[in-house]
Each structure stands twice: as structure tokens, then as C-alpha cells.
Amino acid sequence: MLMAAMSTGLLAVFPAKAPNMPDGFVTPIIAFEFIETRAEVVAMFTQKDGAGRESINEAMLAAFDLGNRLDYIYMVLYSGFLMMFSLTCAKRSGKKYFYTAAALSLFVLACDALENIQLLGITSYLKNGMNTGELETLLENLYRYTWMKWGGIAAIFLILAPWFLRGGKFSKAIGLSGIVCAGLGLAAFLHRPVITEIFGLSVVLMFLMMVVYCFLREESVPYCKPLISR
């Protein structure tokens, strides 16, 4: 519930719109995390006034900075959720491979923290008039940590899929969605435009379904036990 509440709060903090996002993106924070070139960075954060003069959008920089700092709380919550979910699956099923998903949640947490350092570095570069910092290095590191994080999340969903596929209709739908999410992640890695945005939204959907799943009654889940005891 804390994770869901924090997720909703971050939606209100991060910008809902941004000018000149990279092709194929409609969600600013997803576009920012997957941004790759200096030209894309400058275009995304540049605004024009009534006279057509260009300047860096300071308000958008501030919103991203606030959101990314609060995201340190959120990353602990969602990675903790994934870890506890995986450990519960391992305990209830006796299948040791679920421990792999629990370990990956720590890997995802570390990558997300390193990713945010790069994002804050990029906004700092823009605030300082683009005269300081090594933007190319920041972008290279951002690419690495972003894909390690998102790829790790997709891998967790794939590992958890067998648990869900043993359940009822909704549970099976989650398992299939996890498999599709992993496939979209691979496709996005090979071809960024459009697919990456869809992949990001599929991850959000998986989290939502998993949260709902935790409150289902016994007959709706595998092994005839709810994840949350009553």
C-alpha cells in the first residue's frame, strides 16, 4: 500500500508533459530515463518564449529533480515489495528459484539508485549553463544503469510467472503479462522508439496487478493460500 501511495504521489510531482521528447515517447519520466544523446537532452528541456527565444525550462528541471530525489524512497518500497513477494512465493511453493527473483530485487535497487545519480547529474549540467560536467559520460552511464534496472524488473516478472500460471484466471493473466513484459523489454532493448514506452507501461500494469493480487481470497491464488493473512 505504501508503494502504491508513493507511486501515485510521484505522478503528481513529475512533469506530465515535456516539449520535444524523443520519438516514440509520451511519458516525460520514461523519456528522460531512456534518453541517449545530447541533442535529445537539449531539445527536451528547451522552451521558447513569446518572442521565439529559447531557454532551459527551469521549472521542468526542478520538477524532475524533486521527483528523482523522492524516487529514492519509492525504489526502496517497490524493490522491497518485489523481494517480499518473491520470498513469500519461495516459502509457500518450496521452489528455490524464486530466491533468484528476491536477489534480483536488490540488484534492481542498486541500479535504480545509480540511474538517479546520472539523471540528477544531467539536470545539474543543464542548470550550470552546459559548461560543466561530462554529459556524454552521464548518458553512457544512464543507458547502462537504466537498462540494468528495467531488465532486472522484467527478469523478476519472468521468474515469478510460473507461480501465477498455477492460479486462477486473474493469476494466469498476471503470469502471461509477465512473460509479455519480458518480451517487450527485449524488443525495446533492440529497438527503442515506441516499444520502450509500451514496455514501461507494461511494467506499471504488472505492479498494479500484483498489488491487487495480494488481496485476493484463498481460492483465487496458487497453493490455496492468500499472500496476506487474515
* Domain count of the fold of the chain: 1
Please tell me the distance from the alpha carbon of residue 165 to that of residue 95, in angstroms, as a whole number: 14
Please tell me the distance from the alpha carbon of residue 186 to that of residue 88, in angstroms, as a whole number: 27
pLDDT of 89 reads: 94
Query: 159-214, pLDDT tens digit by residue?
Result: 999 999 998 899 999 999 999 999 999 999 998 778 999 999 999 999 999 999 99
Query: 41-72, pLDDT tens digit by residue?
Result: 989 998 877 666 778 889 999 999 999 999 99
Structural domain containing residue 99: 2-224
DSSP-assigned beta bridge partners for residue 55: 47
Query: 92-141, pLDDT tens digit by residue?
Result: 999 999 999 999 999 999 999 999 999 999 999 998 877 666 899 999 99
In a domain, 161, yes or no: yes
> 167 near 220, Cβ under 8 Å?
yes
In a domain, 51, yes or no: yes
In a domain, 18, yes or no: yes
In a domain, 230, yes or no: no
In a domain, 134, yes or no: yes
Q: What is the DSSP string of 3-61?
A: HHHHHHHHHHHS-S--TTPPTT---HHHHHHT--SHHHHHHHHEEE-TT--EEE-HHHH
In a domain, 216, yes or no: yes
Q: Please, which pLDDT band fits residue 219 given cuts at 50, 70 and 90?
A: very low
Q: Phi/psi zone of residue 94: left (φ > 0), alpha (ψ -120 to 50 degrees), beta? A: left
Please tell me the distance from the alpha carbon of residue 94 to that of residue 162, in angstroms, as a whole number: 13
How far apart, in Å, are the Cα atoms of 113 and each of 20, 62, 109, 164, 198?
26, 19, 6, 29, 23
In a domain, 189, yes or no: yes
In a domain, 163, yes or no: yes
Please tell me the distance from the alpha carbon of residue 105 to that of residue 112, in angstroms, as a whole number: 10
Enclosing H/E stretch for 84: helix 58-93
